[in-house]
Structure 1
Amino acid sequence: MLDSVDVSLLAVLQEDGRASYQTLADRVGLSRTAVRSRVHRLLESGIVTIVGAVHPAVCGLDADAWLLVRAQGDPVLAARALSARTAVYASQVTTGNHDVVARIRARDDAALVAEVDEIRDEERVQAVSVFRTVTTVRDTQAIAALYEPCPLDPVDWELLALLQRDVRGSFVRLSQAVGLSRAATRTRVSALLQSGIIRVVAVADPRTMGQAVSAGFGLTITAGARQTTARVAMVPGVRALARGWGPYDVLGEITASSPPVLATSLSEIGAIAGVAACTSWSVLEVVATPAPVDVSAERQVITTVPDPRAQTVC
């Protein structure tokens, strides 16, 4: 479990995973040395992970979906089989009308359909329902965010890859790696962050935050989907939320400290104006936590602008 100072540090790092030790010290009222020690402990223990999450669309991955899977046999083995697929970036074993929930990315809807067809042919898969994400409203795992598209040159791609491998790397180290001045490197990194092309944020296991149970939910919306979904996003514990089409209008995930608290939160969601029906399921086991796009693996298929080593991102 995290103490109150750890929770405060995590809150800052969830806003900005590259926040300096001095900034963190100022926010929590400790010395820079004490903060550095705490951050190192959190990272080395695996309680907190700081990720460089590049928006999938930057790498040409424009189609995203949640799969509600009926397993053939052991659901854990089915979830593991799905997680071994390149397109699948998260999976969990659940209760309810399906046994596994997985999330996948593809370049477009045609590629998404082809991937789903292959998944349906998996020997451990009995049936698949598809929820096609149109808008990601919330994702505390830092996998997606709104961003402003702009051309990237090879230096920008190098910086994105570096930020994924060394998320809190100093500007001195980054500038040496790409062969630019520290000022030019800082400008580029700031532009990448401000445009939403990459987010550098802390991700923590909800259990370390006292959130011992989690559930997924699907909503049928009667009217005012955008406003209704915004109200759902404000319910404490909602970690992921997306609008789209398929078996539901909205799909999400929520955590809580105990089953009674979770039941209360789900009841609160079901009572929100505009929600016609709320179907929920318990998460029994997380087989693969949501993972960011790997820039090193995807970059080669993306067209970039020429490499003038003196221009900024946008």
Structure 2
Amino acid sequence: MEKIPENTSTRPRHELTHQVISALRDDPRMSVTAIAQNLQAPRAVVAQTVDSLLSSDTIRIVAAVNPSFLGIHVIAHVSIEPRGPVTPIAEFIASLHESVLVTSITGSHSVVAELRTGTHADLHSLLSEIRLHSNVARIDTLIYSNVRKGYHSSRDVSEVRIDDADREIMEILQRDGRASYTSISPRVSLTATTVRSRIQRLEEAQVIQFGVVESRGVTGRQVSVGFGINSSDSLEPLIGHLKEHSDVEFVAECVGRFDVIGTLVSKDFQTIHERIESILSLPSIDKFETWTHIHTHKEDYSRRV
């Protein structure tokens, strides 16, 4: 077993942690050995860092199944102004199968949720159900027209046929995106080599996409700030600017009170402030609104295949 030297590097541990997470964002299934080589850090230290991040739920590595492959064609961002305490309505929405993300936020709305349904009629029925809750005062809804950045981004699925083994592989990877080929092999009665080729085929067909889900809110490692933008010009330059920055985790074009919605993540508010200033310097910004995620009630993108 590799012994961890007492002084392995001059870099602080928190800096190494940030670099490891960045490496996993680039390639969620990157091996510990490859991460250590890329960061020029001892393998044992990197292994310990990855294990700590995963075991503490600071991050989760998951395979997101393309929503359209699952028959999900409508994705909505719902902002809720509560009547009374926030937790009852947040927990109610978190209990709904159609919700994948529910957080308490700062601001008048207090709760935001991402809902996924098969049709607009399904979404309308779901929103009607939410409005009937005694703790709901008002709802604002945005419909994503195109998710431009994010591990569950909009993408066309290639024609692909799947069988029960593929479905089981996807179920496993939705729970643990770093599950090894050898650990999956006996569970689906296939060789590790075959498991690997099947996962590659599902990735190439855009059926699954691996990503990192980080804990957000006051208990998380990161500061997570949502934003909405209205623009008086073409959205492409704006979206291009947003996509090129690693601290912009998510970007979507939408229909509703904003033209673009997104999420900023960073280790501190100073960095968030600097990124917001850079966005506001763009000439096409008409309106810019932010909210801070302070507690996550649910973040679960896994779905039965």
In which range does the TM-score fall when normalised by the shorter chain?
0.7 to 0.9
CA contact (8 A) 2:215 2:221 kept: no
Query: Which among 287, 291, 304 is matched to residue 277 of structure 1?
Result: 287
- Tell me the distance in 2 between the aligned counterparts of 1:287 and 1:208: 9
Contact 1:13-1:19 within 8 A present in 2 as well = yes
1:98 counterpart (109, 112, 120): 109
- Alignment correspondent of 1:292: 301
Deviation at 1:49, TM superposition (A): 1.8
CA distance in 2, matches of 1:78, 1:183: 47
* Equivalent-residue separation in structure 1 for 2:146 and 2:163 (angstroms): 28
Q: Distance in 1 between matches of 2:267 and 2:183?
A: 41
Q: If the length of structure 2 is used for normalisation, what is the TM-score?
A: 0.84
Which of residues 25, 31, 56 is equivalent to 1:45?
56
Which SS does the other structure have where 2:30 is aligned?
coil
- Length, aligned pairs only: 292
Q: 1:267 to 1:230 in 2, by over 3 A?
A: same
- Of 10, 13, 17, the match for 2:28: 17
Residue type matched to 1:293 in 2? S
C-alpha contact 1:66 1:103 (8 A) present in aligned 2: yes
Aligned partner of residue 251 in structure 1, secondary structure = strand
SS in 2 for 1:119: helix
Matches within 5 A, 1:166-185: 166-185=176-195
Asked if residue 3 in structure 1 is aligned to residue 14 in structure 2, the reply is: yes
The within-5 A match list for 1:237-248 is 237-248=247-258
Q: Counterpart of 1:219?
A: 229
Residue in structure 2 matched with residue 302 of structure 1 by the alignment: none
Provide the secondary structure at the position in 1 that maps to 2:299: coil
For 2:121 and 2:229, locate their aligned partners in 1 and report how far apart those are by CA, in whole Å: 26
Whether the 8 Å CA contact 1:138–1:242 is kept in 2: the answer is: yes
**Cα separation, 1, equivalents of 2:168 and 2:147:** 27
Task: Provide the rounded CA distance (Å) in 2 between the counterparts of 1:276 and 1:70.
Answer: 24
In structure 2, how many angstroms separate the alpha carbons of the residues matched to 1:147 and 1:15? 21
Equivalent position of 1:149 in the other structure: 158
After TM superposition, give the deviation of residue 36 of structure 1 in Å.
2.8
Alignment check: 8 A CA contact 1:89 1:291 kept:
yes
The corresponding residue for 1:191 is 201
Tell me how far apart the structure 2 counterparts of residues 2 and 241 of structure 1 sit (CA, whole Å): 30
Aligned equivalents of 2:221, 2:179: Cα separation in 1: 30
Could you say which residue in structure 2 is the equivalent of 1:88? 99
CA contact (8 A) 2:82 2:136 kept: yes
Runs of 4+ aligned residues of structure 1 deviating over 6 Å after TM superposition are: 207-210
CA-based RMSD of the aligned residues comes to: 2.6
**Aligned partner of 2:180: which letter?**
S
List runs of 5+ in structure 1 lacking aligned partners.
Answer: 300-314
Compute the displacement of 1:120 (Å). 1.2
Deviates more, 1:7-16 or 1:118-127: 7-16
Take 1:7 and 1:235, find their aligned partners in 2: how far apart are those partners? 15
Of the two structures, which has the highest relative contact order with CA contacts closer than 8 Å and spacing of 6 or more? 1
Q: How far did 1:211 drift? A: 4.0
SS for the counterpart of 2:283 is coil
Per-residue CA distance 1:36-79 (angstroms, 9 max, x = gap): 33322222222222222222222111110101111111123322
Counterpart of 2:290, as a letter, is: S
The answer for the alignment partner of 2:264 in structure 1 is 254
Shift of 1:258: 4.7
Q: Which is further off, 188-197 or 23-32?
A: 23-32
Indicate the SS of the match to 1:130: strand
Segments of 5+ residues of structure 2 without an aligned counterpart are: 1-11
Measure how far apart 1:291 and its partner are: 1.8
Q: Deviations over 1:121-154 (max 9, x none)?
A: 1111111111000111222xx3445353333222
**Is residue 119 of structure 1 aligned with residue 130 of structure 2?**
yes
Displacement of 1:85 in angstroms is: 1.4
Per-residue deviation, 1:170: 2.4
CA deviation vs aligned residue, 1:8-42 (integer Å, no higher than 9, x gap)? 32222222222223322322334544433332222
| 2:66–2:157 CA contact under 8 A, matched in 1 | no
Question: SS of the counterpart of 2:286?
Answer: strand
Report the identity percentage.
Answer: 22
